[in-house]
Amino acid sequence: MASHDILQLLVSLPGEFVSGERISQQLNVTRASVWKQIKQLKEEGFDIEAHTKKGYCLRKTPNSLNAWVIEQMVETKSFGHVLSIEDKLKSTNAKARELAREGGIHGQVVIAKSQYAGRGRMQREWQSPLGGLWMSVIIRPNLTLANASKLTLAASVAIVDAIEELYQLRVGIKWPNDLLYNGQKIAGILGEVVGEWNRVQTLILGIGINANFSSEKLGSILTAATLKEILGYEVDLNRLAATILEYLEKQVTALEENLFEDLRSNWMARAVGLGEEVRVLRGEEVFRGVFKGISQDGELLLSTEQGEERFSAGEVRLR
Ligand code: BT5
């Protein structure tokens, strides 16, 4: 923790050298301890320039995931203020559930650098190699159950907005929770209610983004792409996490204030297959029709030969 006090000091003086002596006096630690902690920070990926006479200067924070960096970056009321990063987890959603049961707070975040049993919907597998952003947020919203189902829509729009702001990349949303670029999946969302279904007190929002790895790592999944492949460079995962949390908090707050219309139109502006003939799978059933949009209750609207069908769960297949 003390090393973060050093960071705090260096960050507060951007581009300036701070002498070892000043650090040791201000933080009441020995010069040797300052040196040791700077060494540790460098190993964590902080680019700190050391000069024998002038002292230390923080040049750049690391691209790789770092809880302290995200906490400093994030400009939110509560999202991401409590945040932990693990090297490897079964699933961040499973971990967030545990944390929620132990009293985890609204907006608390858990991130894993890799997951060995990441989950998609309906117990499907979610491949989560190193280099991705695998993150779950505990949400204790002030929402009815009906409105809580709109949180996945809110999360989709939040991620799309973040990716557009950071990389000027326009990503499409395939109902209900796939984010696509040129038809390839780059991110998925898994919303799960903790506790009883008839009362939403806590929801875990799992977000998986294929960021800094090559899609070859995904083995047999051929319909995926990663940000690194699309952009041609590695993205700053801390900035990505922080920006998503900012947009997510805004969207969740808007939902709590019953402002669904903006979200609905933003969602539809990004929807893939809107106005087109699609198939919707619900369990064993297959429906064909024209994808008309999202209702005021957040359901998918399909115009079929038999009339209008509404779906709150299922899968869309594009032509
Ligand atoms: C999803 O499910 O898209 C939800 C994915 C949520 C993942 C996050 S990561 C953090 C948190 N912790 C978790 O354990 N989960 C959440 P679904 O729509 O059911 O899509 C699953 C399908 O996507 C699989 O059956 C594969 O075909 C495909 N798939 C698996 N891994 C993928 C990947 N990394 N990229 C693209 N497609 C993938």
Q: Find the CATH number of the domain harbouring 29.
A: 1.10.10.10
pLDDT tens, 60-74?
Answer: 888 889 999 999 899
Contacts of 139 (CB under 8 A, 6+ apart): 106, 107, 151, 202, 203, 204, 205, 252
Q: What is the DSSP letter of 92?
A: H
Query: How does residue 197 score in pLDDT terms, banded at 50, 70 and 90?
Result: low
> 302: CA distance to ligand 1 center in Å?
25
Task: Give me the interface pTM, i.e. the ipTM.
Answer: 0.99
Q: Is 177 in the pocket of ligand 1 (CB under 6 A)?
A: yes
> Are 52 and 144 found together in one domain?
no
- The pLDDT assigned to 198 comes to 62
Q: What is the DSSP letter of 217?
A: G
Residue with tokens 């609207």, as numbered in its chain: 301
- The pLDDT assigned to 105 comes to 96
Angstrom distance (rounded) from CA 82 to CA 258: 26
> Are 158 and 263 found together in one domain?
yes
Ligand 1 atom, smallest distance to 127 CA? 31
Q: Is 124 in the pocket of ligand 1 (CB under 6 A)?
A: yes
pLDDT tens, 10-23?
Answer: 888 878 999 999 99
Strand partners, 55: 51
pLDDT tens, 282-305?
Answer: 989 999 999 999 999 999 999 999
Residue nearest to atom 15 of ligand 1 (CA): 119
Query: How does residue 146 score in pLDDT terms, banded at 50, 70 and 90?
Result: confident
Q: Can you tell me the mean pLDDT for 240-256? A: 97
- The pLDDT assigned to 196 comes to 67
Angstrom distance (rounded) from CA 319 to CA 315: 13
Domain count, the chain: 3
String of b and e for 37-76 (b: at least 16 CB within 10 Å)? bbeebeeeebebeeeeeebbbbeebbbbbbbbbbbebbeb
Of 7-11, 155-159, 175-179, give the lowest mean pLDDT range. 7-11
Of 13-17, 128-132, 137-141, 293-297, give the lowest mean pLDDT range. 13-17
> Are 170 and 240 found together in one domain?
yes
Report the alpha-carbon angle 304-310-314, nearest 5.
Answer: 100
> Are 117 and 224 found together in one domain?
yes
Query: In this model, does residue 2 exceed pLDDT 60?
Result: no
Residue nearest to atom 37 of ligand 1 (CA): 224
> Are 193 and 49 found together in one domain?
no
Cis omega (within 30 of 0) for bond into 176: yes
> 117: CA distance to ligand 1 center in Å?
11
Orientation angle between helical segments 2-11 and 20-27, nearest 10 degrees = 120
- Please choose, from the candidates 142, 203, 288, the residue with its C-alpha nearest in 3D space to the C-alpha of residue 311: 288
Q: Can you tell me the mean pLDDT for 15-39? A: 92
> Are 157 and 281 found together in one domain?
no
> Are 49 and 97 found together in one domain?
no
Query: In this model, does residue 236 exceed pLDDT 90?
Result: yes
DSSP, collapsed to helix, strand or coil, labels residue 19 as coil
> Are 281 and 263 found together in one domain?
no
Q: What is the DSSP letter of 76?
A: -
> 109: CA distance to ligand 1 center in Å?
18
Angstrom distance (rounded) from CA 249 to CA 161: 12
CB 215 within 8 A of CB 229: yes
> Are 303 and 181 found together in one domain?
no
Query: In this model, does residue 76 exceed pLDDT 50?
Result: yes
- The pLDDT assigned to 80 comes to 97
What the block records as the tokens of 99 is 């944390």
**Average pLDDT along the chain:** 93
> Are 45 and 76 found together in one domain?
no
Whichever domain contains 309, its CATH number is: 2.30.30.100
Q: Which amino acid is at 257?
A: E
- The pLDDT assigned to 88 comes to 97
Whichever domain contains 92, its CATH number is: 3.30.930.10
**Which of 126, 151, 190, 248 best tests ligand 1's pocket when mutated (most atoms within 8 Å of CB)?**
126
Q: What is the DSSP letter of 234?
A: -
- The pLDDT assigned to 1 comes to 44
45: left (phi over 0), alpha (psi -120 to 50) or beta: left
Q: How far is CA 188 from the centre of its chain?
A: 10
Angstrom distance (rounded) from CA 210 to CA 314: 23
Residue range(s) defining the domain that contains residue 298: 277-317
Ligand 1 atom, smallest distance to 124 CA? 25
